[in-house]
Chain A
């Protein structure tokens, strides 16, 4: 019985364990470099972006579908830093988002947008897929089949 309580407590902590750490572009790229043969799918989004919110479930489904593969989905929020705990975190809990979430800690849009990808206009949503030296950038929204097929493509590359 005691163990049961401990277990439920542990589970509830895990379920609500979503957090939003800050990350800058250097730290993001370091993470990718340390990932070796992991495929990273990095979605740039914001709570205020209707199309981003609509496609979040596809990114959740992608990581669940391929949970035995070397896939890491990172959701990088472009919300204002001031909204991290007041909007972003409650939003993630409400939606039950399980993927790892960060909030981009960069000030100069003239620098960081190009560092993510020179072809990016800054429009959200946008997605970067990285597999060691292979990079593919998408400035568009995804349905699940589209996302799945883009993932399969980079997996085969």
Chain B
């Protein structure tokens, strides 16, 4: 009975393309295989043996995402060698946000010198699977025996303007907890960002 209900719910959510609930820490990170800006497909497994992943839903067009771009590049430089590479996914539908087309993503990744995959989410399937709501939004994933588990969701830090005083690096604190084999003290944060651009409801 429960399974039937789940099937119906999943079918319903797919039919309406509705906003799905955001995957919360402690749950499995949905698998994906998406086209990178270099034309190759990227999945968890394609990145080799790592300890986890910093998934960031980000885009070309949101001013908040752009304000965090250099910080995301910096995070990959620090944490990819430590086993936590960045995977950026653009969640916006280019038919409503032309600045987020695949071609424009290719240009942005090149110009800004992304050292990490920047993936195009055709049909927003992965965006919906994660229940991503805004850009930029982080899902820190930990590789475990049980699979890839979400350890932290939310903001990179509490300082969108990058002023520096009283900065709290939520994500970095979560990563160091995960590296120590612990649960992040703060596993969920929120931040003002741009809603994900979807085809009209």
Q: State the A residues within 8 Å of B (CB).
A: 46, 48-51, 78, 80, 82, 108-110, 113-114, 120-125, 139-141
Contacts and interface: CB of A to CB of B under 8 A. Distances in A.
B190 A124 contact: no
Give chain B's interface secondary structure class: loop
B101 interface: no
A113 B194 contact: no
B158 A122 contact: no
B193 A123 contact: yes
Given A113-B190, A120-B190, A121-B22, A140 B158 contact: no
Given A109-B191, A122-B192, A124-B192, 19 more contacts: A48-B63, A51-B197, A80-B161, A82-B161, A108-B158, A109-B158, A109-B189, A110-B158, A110-B189, A113-B190, A121-B133, A122-B133, A122-B134, A122-B190, A123-B134, A123-B192, A124-B134, A140-B201, A141-B195
A120 B196 CA distance: 14
A110 B190 CA distance: 6
Interface in B167-194: 189-194
Contacts of B107: none
A139 B190 contact: no
B63 A125 contact: no
